[in-house]
Amino acid sequence: MKDIKGYIFDLDGTIYLGDQLIEDADTVIKSIQNEGKQILFLTNKTIESRQKYVEKLKSFNIDVTIDNILNPTVTLINYLKTHHPLAKLYIIGEQIIKDEILLEGLSVAATPDETDIVILSWDRNFHYDHLNFAYQAVRNGALTIATNPDRTCPVEFGEVPDCAGMIGALEGVTGKRVDVQIGKPSQVTVTAAINLLTLPPSQCMMIGDRLETDIRMGIEAGMKTALVLSGVTQASDVPSSEWQPDYVFSSVKGILFNTVT
């Protein structure tokens, strides 16, 4: 790993589970920082602001700034400003993502008829009215953009449904796949991460607990990859996966001690 100059870490299931730090994760991060290498924390979650992630990591004695955090909301806003700056949006998501989008001057639709794009993100208050509004908008020609494809999110007591539930509901009633996916493993997120690190992918490593998002993204981008078994993936899942990591660790401390499972 001596050639690696940039480390991209997933958060949930990789650095912590809920409010519980994964053992030695803080030591791993400090060691990388002391070597003068770059770190980016890359999450697919949209239910917290980047500042909240900074505060949470600092509570674990991990010293970071907002520039070390990338989430789909930031990438989505940049994507919309570049490709659809005048679009009227219908946002399925929690208040934090709505507030951040509005603060950037993007427009929200009042009716399905005027909706240009339906945004699908994790919403723990998702209900039928959301689904019906989105369905009518898509029937009228609206595009669909999902913030992330995660089926579940790892927490202390197991897993909870994530954005795939919202995506599945809309795809199920419209019969159409989402047009654009922003979060890992999307090339949109790869580009955003590489631009922040200002390093070629060959000098970066992606570390995460999901084969279909973290590891897939790293492989497709040309990065080294390390799967950790502290989140949603079990060791028994690896042999049959299309996405084979360079390393499999029981947790992130394998990065420090290079202890492969």
Same domain, 104 and 151: yes
Residue 62 token pair: 């991990």
Q: How far lies 254's CA from each of 2, 23, 37, 173, 207, in Å?
A: 14, 11, 17, 44, 11
CA distance 76 to 35: 32
Q: Which residue has the tokens 């519980």?
A: 20
163 and 79 together in one domain: yes
Provide mean pLDDT across the span 8-13: 96
pLDDT (tens digit per residue) in 178-206:
999 999 999 999 999 999 999 999 999 99
How does pLDDT run across 65-115, given as a tens digit for each residue? 999 999 999 999 999 999 999 999 999 999 999 999 999 999 999 999 999
> Which range of residues forms the domain containing residue 169?
73-181
Q: What is the CATH number of the domain that holds 14?
A: 3.40.50.1000
Total of domains in the chain: 2
- Strands (E) in 93-166, as ranges, are 107-108, 117-120, 143-146, 152-155, 158-161
